[in-house]
Structure 1
Amino acid sequence: MPSVSRVAILGAESTGKSTLAATLAAHYNTLWVPEYLREFVETYQRTPQEHEQFHIAVTQVRYEAKAIQRARSFLFCDTTPLMTALYSRFYFGRIDAPLEALASTHSYDFTIVTPPTSPWVPDGLQRESPEVRQTIHEQLLATLDARAIPYLLVDGDAEERVRRVTKHLPAQD
């Protein structure tokens, strides 16, 4: 079985991560892993509490592990434990040790960041404000830099974003 590269798509709320993940998966004829947090919020009709953050990150990783078995060349991951950790620190003032350990050790082959330049769209319980979105974006870039995680910042409409990503991802069979 050929190797599959896991591609993290990171960004604050309402920056087009899901759209980009789905579009790239279609472009490369492979799979993408939706953000489990959205499923959690829809299922429980509330935002998660602090003690649920690790569960959310572990479930996200579990979904990746299932999908990578069927993916071809790339698996596009709409968020990662790192984003769960960032939001945990933002909303609860800390990251618990198991979540920090998972966020620090679960790595990806390529990281894409979607900036907060598209119009902010409220989405029920999951999105707070354009100001929070900007703050999370700044914290994300600082965290990636501090952890020496290289990333590609992609902006523009969906077509432009895909064009930029495909210039940087190696061609796969």
Structure 2
Amino acid sequence: MSVRRIAVLGAESSGKSTLCQALAQRYGTVWVPEYLREFVDTHGRVPFEADQFGIARMQREREDAAALQARDFLFCDTTPLMTALYSRVYWGRVDAQLEALARSHDYALTLVTAPDTPWIPDGLMRESEEMRQRVFALVEAELDARGIRFVLLESDLPHRLRQVEAALKVLAPF
């Protein structure tokens, strides 16, 4: 029986990690934290353009490893698609390797967290409310341009959990 991977995308400080953790607990499975956060903590800096492909590749490698432990669903706090989007935002381009990895966006369901929770700065990773709104608009536009259907999650965590539960029910059964 295969595990269905669920992509959770969104701008900074929009509740992705909190949601993934809650979903993994609710469905008795594991989730994949955002590797970028670990990268920033480990290196004490935000990534350079040359770091982007390695960050996306590590995110995917951790996803693949977690899939071996997951039960039914694997909740993925970001994907290489978001790394590519941020490359475009900060450097105006996406290198070919990163774009190829971003194109492999093959998830059973894509969820997007709306930026309707309080914005909380956390040092190096979070820039501003204005950037959060800009990235959110870019995420929606990018998914639309790529023909990737998604469910927009809004409001507080309990409401988002109900939205995800409804979305998961319409996925084809195993």
TM-score range, shorter chain: over 0.9
CA RMSD in angstroms comes to 1.2
Which residue identity is paired with 1:30?
Answer: T
1:46 maps to 2:45: yes
Distance (Å, rounded) in 2 between the aligned partners of 1:134 and 1:101: 26
**1:102-152 Cα distance to aligned partner (Å, 9 max, x none):** 101232110000011111000110000000111111111001001110000
The aligned residue for residue 100 of structure 1 is: 99
**1:45-88 Cα distance to aligned partner (Å, 9 max, x none):** 00000000000000000000100001000000000000000001
The two structures have a TM-score, normalised by structure 2, of 0.96
SS at match of 2:31: strand
**Percent identical residues:** 56
The aligned residue for residue 149 of structure 1 is: 148
Q: What are structure 2's unaligned runs of at least 5 residues?
A: none
SS at match of 2:83: helix
Distance (Å, rounded) in 1 between the aligned partners of 2:167 and 2:104: 24
SS at match of 2:85: helix
The two structures have a TM-score, normalised by structure 1, of 0.97
Distance (Å, rounded) in 1 between the aligned partners of 2:96 and 2:13: 28
Q: How many residues align structurally?
A: 172
